[in-house]
Structure 1
């Protein structure tokens, strides 16, 4: 039991003077320090030199029913708890209530991720101030950095680094100061100071992005190794080949010019293209790896794939949804070998409009593994003899693809599909896995062309699912909600832009025009960020609600079943329908499943995205670590009440803290600028600035600047 807990227990028996407690525990300095903390936390009262355990009835009164919440943030002296909102399947999105602000002394030692019951405080500073009255579910698994304070090892949790947790000597796992570790709360007290943790896993130095990435994945339940049962099932597919018996009932596309186009380092190739000219326009084939032929419901492979729901890509590594025997082997559309595929063959008119489509179970053989950069060189007329020879069989098709893509791009723009710049980065690693360069990803014609072809296949699959009236999984992007539209309008107006929309909700064409008008100007970053923030998050649903961002009434994910489980579900349903299963049979088999699968896969997708972005931040900080003191040109990418964020040309982003901007008060204006109350100087989103690097935290993925 900690000294803090012992003192509290003693004071519950009767009030005590300081000298009595010192004599009782024989630790003069520590007793006095602990009593000071207990008084500060409101658990103990001191009067005339006598210390009392604060009575339960003396705690501030609460009002109303307790609200179930998830603790989302814990700082040194306060926390925030977000009410849990239950959404009805297929219903409108529930309105999200405001988070509760909980003073530290009313947190009951709750940790980020805990599910708690919160009641509003009577007489609180606002109606959203609350008190934790019970912890319903404990989140005892933590990730953080080991430190030493006052001679003892402590854990600085990633999600609340201002609250060091004492590590039990008997459970330190051999961890050393500066290591990134996984830990578990072994003992909980009434406050964070009373918690005791044990180290369960050491990842390596917190100054290594590679080690920090391992911790990020661990914290989000993203595990690279597969269970033994899954490994055994995958082992049976080691070196598997397509056999004659596999071809029964399949279309044979092996004589067609079909090939893949991906990044040079891609090993899990799940889509290929064919294209021919017809009398009425074009015939476009999008041929997707038939993963459903190998990953069967009820197997360990399928259960694990469902749990993972998606592959996770971090710099230099991947946590695959499927074992390599499938993802890089029999399911990958490698060149020169037969592969089973699920093909979407579409007829397009001379303008690029899809007039008809059919889906087939088929067999194909890719002519070549195309690479984006090489094909972009061909289109730019820069290809040398080796490239021309490599793509000899495909050059006429590539020429036709470019012709069709130009028409599709015009159609995309005409319907208002939004092209938001997200600042994707390519992180270059050395042989030891350390970041040695960060480059902004530039998307060429080849990348955009393949994206457009995949979009057509995904749209056709959604239309077929809707037409058949069967249970289905749709990729949905709903309309922006009114509050976000209002904030967008205010932000754009604050930039001096004409933000008048014809209706309450801006149309895709209106937003697309804003984005295009800002492109290449100093406001580009600001406009694109604010439009992105106004958008709902895309997710999976069992109801077809359309895709606002793509300006499409029907959309799903069909083209990546090696790395996304929703695509595999769509394959199974369409395969069963093509094989003759009727609506009643499919409803019985998939009706309830698609509702739960939509929720689960959406949640796992968010975890994957958060993990990938956090890992990127760690590697970016690692790349900047040896550049302390250097100066850089950047652009203000966002502003907050605690400072401005500056983004460099290579996408590295860092904070200039408000304390380094002025000695006076800084005021936030329309979430667009920080204004110095002393000088009137304004720091606006989009402004160019020169900054000096003053610090990095690889573990937190943070970069700190000051104005140069």
Structure 2
């Protein structure tokens, strides 16, 4: 059979890439040339056509049906791919995955008749772009080390000889796929990076960062630019053209550990009983210029990543902890939002100015809370003597703002955040629920006001911008919330219509102090749409605001830095047409990049926290605790302990009958008649903790522990 006919026949059976065809019919330079000549001839004759580097027969019409996708999940005998636009996913049975790995860009054809009605199912026609960098764990199997990827722990891959590095059994590692096979198990890998034992949370966290190409170390060109700002100070020339606010008793309030201080505040009462509130934000845009290495790297990172006691900053320390940070007692350049509010806390006017400030004191939340409560000692009072006079007015203004916030129906959902307590070696020795006091709420409200003013400024001026958008919950999520509330005996009255935030707030208030409070809080959080960045103002559902943006954290969020840059140009008098020409595409690019990187950062932070919680649980194996049922499935129960640590109790630990029924928020054993309801408390024993996967297993505690 001629080469032309062989290739046509092969493509009729299965769409192929050039690489596929050369593997089948080539082998040396001469044979490869014949393959390409035959391909060119078939294309010229319109027998075959190409889509994204994959060849199809024209007669089949399959090229028009092929979809660009990305592999998002991989199991032992299946995969899920996501359409390029992120609108829906497609199930891929194992025999049709073509060895694709998570992160691979693939071309997919959907089946006309999926096995499950109403679902999308298909096959991967070709892998277009390979993601060959993987993170996982080394395990000794059958006498040799094998690699088990985190993305699919059911699969193991052989490590090529002399490519193991110094990795040992149980090590967390990064590998590169050196040779791809037809199945995932056939891939061959080499160790690229060893992090250490998978039983240490800090090693697992490092691997999570590596997997997303997030590095602590900045590229050399970025470091070179940052070094020019080593020990930098604000000069007289820097202050020219700025409003001099050094006389104002400005100060910062943060946690004791904070080193990258974005924001400061000032407040004075007016003769008519109103307020002049100043929110002063680090003027990062003065130091990070468009097109610089610092700017390009900040755009790529888009956000700082925080986990445990660590931070991977968006900007090098010379800026984040140095010249940009509003440190106590030193001159700093700021972008100030100066607001006027009436005696009832209503915003009446605002203006944005470039300023120079000097923070009087580095305030700490816990210390300010003590001062507000009136139980601070003389030493603490002395520390804050320059700003003490502002605190009663701040408390008064916050009271007005909290009332207004409640009146408009702003949702106040508790996030259930925890604080990880680490020893000097970075190991988690305790977990505590994070609590917030009056000063935390006060600062949050003042920052929210400045953010609101920034968004309003942009909409009124009709300039390109990066808005923070939070849309209303979709029907599917509302249906799940409706089912949860019904199961908890809560009347929601919004089975068909989208509820207002005020209606949801009323439900939260109604369950406060009950066994269902935390569960419904979590249910509400899961019901909410994910807030994103967009170049068009669409409002903020949760905050009940028409205008909202992120203005107050330019050291750690690129959208804030971006809108500082845009607002600076507007304040300098740049005309509207130039603003649109210069910043429209910029705002669109920032919105897309920041939204994507924020999701990645949140996933890393959540997974890292799970690893640290599991590390804590390993120290308490065999110990008994009281917990509350936070989730019910056919397989068993999720139990949350008082400190926020959650684990799973398998059904086999609950009953010996092996038959369980789920009814909404109840798990039942029809044989014994036992029931386990969402919100019930029960005693458990910690029996397993997998630090690597961040998973904890519980069992029902023995009767002796329940006494």
Selected match of 1:465 from 458, 462, 484: 458
Q: Distance in 2 between matches of 1:119 and 1:589?
A: 40
CA displacement 1:309-367 (0-9 Å, x = unmatched) = 01111112110011111111110101111111000000001111100001110000001
Q: Distance in 1 between matches of 2:596 and 2:498?
A: 27
Provide the residue aligned with 2:551 in structure 1. 558
Contact 1:628–1:694 (Cα < 8 Å) also in 2: yes
Contact 2:482–2:495 (Cα < 8 Å) also in 1: no
Selected match of 2:420 from 404, 427, 440: 427
Provide the residue aligned with 1:101 in structure 2. 91
Query: In the TM superposition, what is the alpha-carbon distance from 1:626 to its structure 2 partner?
Result: 1.7
Q: Secondary structure at the match of 1:105?
A: helix
Contact 2:479–2:495 (Cα < 8 Å) also in 1: no
Contact 1:643–1:656 (Cα < 8 Å) also in 2: yes
Provide the residue aligned with 2:599 in structure 1. 606
Matched, 1:384 2:384: no
Query: In the TM superposition, what is the alpha-carbon distance from 1:109 to its structure 2 partner?
Result: 1.8
Matched, 1:157 2:146: no
Q: Distance in 2 between matches of 1:499 and 1:340?
A: 50
Alignment of 1:203-602 (within 5 A): 203-280=195-272, 281-501=274-494, 504-602=497-595
Selected match of 1:650 from 643, 662, 665: 643
Matched, 1:119 2:109: yes
Query: In the TM superposition, what is the alpha-carbon distance from 1:515 to its structure 2 partner?
Result: 1.2
Query: In the TM superposition, what is the alpha-carbon distance from 1:615 to its structure 2 partner?
Result: 1.0
Selected match of 2:618 from 625, 628, 643: 625
Q: Secondary structure at the match of 2:585?
A: helix
- For structure 2, the 5+ residue unaligned runs are 1-61, 702-707
Selected match of 1:684 from 657, 677, 687: 677
Q: Distance in 2 between matches of 1:526 and 1:587?
A: 46
Contact 1:63–1:120 (Cα < 8 Å) also in 2: no
Contact 1:63–1:122 (Cα < 8 Å) also in 2: no
Deviates further, 543-552 or 482-491: 482-491
**Size of the alignment, in residue pairs?**
637
Query: In the TM superposition, what is the alpha-carbon distance from 1:645 to its structure 2 partner?
Result: 1.4
Structure 1 123/270 Cα, relative in aligned 2: closer, same or farther at 3 Å? closer
Q: Distance in 1 between matches of 2:378 and 2:599?
A: 44
Q: Secondary structure at the match of 2:234?
A: coil
- For structure 1, the 5+ residue unaligned runs are 1-61, 87-95
Provide the residue aligned with 1:186 in structure 2. 178
Q: Secondary structure at the match of 1:484?
A: helix
CA displacement 1:67-117 (0-9 Å, x = unmatched) = 33322222222232233336xxxxxxxxx43x3333322222222222323
Contact 1:664–1:677 (Cα < 8 Å) also in 2: no
Query: In the TM superposition, what is the alpha-carbon distance from 1:404 to its structure 2 partner?
Result: 0.8
Structure 1 123/302 Cα, relative in aligned 2: closer, same or farther at 3 Å? closer
If the length of structure 2 is used for normalisation, what is the TM-score?
0.88
Query: In the TM superposition, what is the alpha-carbon distance from 1:606 to its structure 2 partner?
Result: 0.7
Provide the residue aligned with 2:9 in structure 1. none
Query: In the TM superposition, what is the alpha-carbon distance from 1:633 to its structure 2 partner?
Result: 0.9
Query: In the TM superposition, what is the alpha-carbon distance from 1:193 to its structure 2 partner?
Result: 2.1
Q: Distance in 2 between matches of 1:64 and 1:359?
A: 53
Deviates further, 115-124 or 377-386: 115-124
Contact 1:63–1:121 (Cα < 8 Å) also in 2: no
Q: Distance in 2 between matches of 1:679 and 1:502?
A: 35
Contact 2:99–2:181 (Cα < 8 Å) also in 1: yes
If the length of structure 1 is used for normalisation, what is the TM-score?
0.88
Contact 1:275–1:285 (Cα < 8 Å) also in 2: yes
Deviates further, 642-651 or 497-506: 497-506
Structure 1 314/638 Cα, relative in aligned 2: closer, same or farther at 3 Å? same
Q: Secondary structure at the match of 1:545?
A: coil
Structure 1 68/656 Cα, relative in aligned 2: closer, same or farther at 3 Å? farther
Matched, 1:135 2:127: yes
Matched, 1:664 2:654: no
Structure 1 199/473 Cα, relative in aligned 2: closer, same or farther at 3 Å? same
Contact 1:261–1:372 (Cα < 8 Å) also in 2: yes
Provide the residue aligned with 1:65 in structure 2. 65
Query: In the TM superposition, what is the alpha-carbon distance from 1:677 to its structure 2 partner?
Result: 4.1
Q: Distance in 2 between matches of 1:363 and 1:478?
A: 37
Query: In the TM superposition, what is the alpha-carbon distance from 1:63 to its structure 2 partner?
Result: 12
Query: In the TM superposition, what is the alpha-carbon distance from 1:126 to its structure 2 partner?
Result: 1.1
CA displacement 1:388-447 (0-9 Å, x = unmatched) = 100111111011111111111111111111111111111111111111111110010010
Provide the residue aligned with 1:145 in structure 2. 137
Q: Secondary structure at the match of 2:617?
A: helix
- Tell me the C-alpha RMSD between the 2 structures: 1.8
Query: In the TM superposition, what is the alpha-carbon distance from 1:683 to its structure 2 partner?
Result: 2.8
Q: Distance in 2 between matches of 1:368 and 1:616?
A: 32
Q: Secondary structure at the match of 2:65?
A: strand
CA displacement 1:616-648 (0-9 Å, x = unmatched) = 111111111121111111112223343321111
Query: In the TM superposition, what is the alpha-carbon distance from 1:588 to its structure 2 partner?
Result: 1.0
